[in-house]
Copies of this chain bind each other. A is one copy, B any other.
Amino acid sequence: MTEMSTTKDGQPDKADGSDRVAQILSEAERIFARKGYAGASMRDIAVACGISKALLYHHFANKEELYSRVTVGSTDELYLFVRDRVPSGPPSAKIRAFMVATAEYFRRYRWAWIASTTAFWNDPDRHRQKERMTRRDRYENFLRGLIEEAIEAGEIREVDVPMAGRLILSSLNWMHRWYNPNKAMTPEQIADVYFDLVFNGLRAGDISLPAPPPPKPARRKPR
């Protein structure tokens, strides 16, 4: 992906340019993720790549374009990545697959993910921000469609769809703040736990496998 110009013939002998671009994008992801847009300097990125700062401007017009290539690109890919991993089948299984696929994307493109999610407030360019939000909305609307599908199939209650979607996305979007790749749990496993918690709820006495006939007395005081 992200192949650009330099050689139209596609011969692999001269792959220097695109390798550099890929290297720069890779380092830029990490640095933007850790320092944010304003905190990361082009010098930081150049030093991390082991190249001169001028070479950065040979491959990218300016700091903003480099930033956009990192953030907009990954936001765009996220939707396609997830969509292709949601199978046909029961709607609730689709929701679960949506969550696990998002977690897999997070695991595989972690720094770009973090740079993208952090980007929201810090981006000085309104136009790029709007473009990113549009792509983000497509991803979120896809989840809302799955939830509506599950409601119509009778698999989940008639909940507030946008709110249910936000709950699911919040859990996934916040993961990068506490996830430790050295710990045992993989992001996919984390997403699986979240799905169980959100789908089945915390409340006791209604494990999904057996039917729950005994009605429970009211706990909370009604108004």
Interface residues of A (CB under 8 A from B): 33-39, 90, 92-93, 114, 118, 120-122, 124, 147-148, 150-151, 154-161, 163-164, 166-167, 169-171, 173-175, 177-178, 190, 193-194, 197-204, 206-210, 212-214, 216-220, 222-223
Contacts and interface: CB of A to CB of B under 8 A. Distances in A.
Contacts of A220: 90, 92-93, 148, 151, 158, 160-161, 210, 212
A155 B203 contact: yes
A171 B159 CA distance: 16
B206 A212 contact: yes
A162 B182 CA distance: 17
22 contacts: A33-B121, A35-B121, A39-B39, A92-B203, A150-B202, A154-B204, A155-B204, A156-B202, A159-B202, A161-B220, A163-B194, A164-B197, A166-B174, A170-B171, A198-B201, A198-B202, A199-B202, A200-B203, A203-B208, A206-B212, A210-B219, A210-B222
A88 to B, nearest CB: 13
Contact of A222 (B156, B163, B197, B213): B213
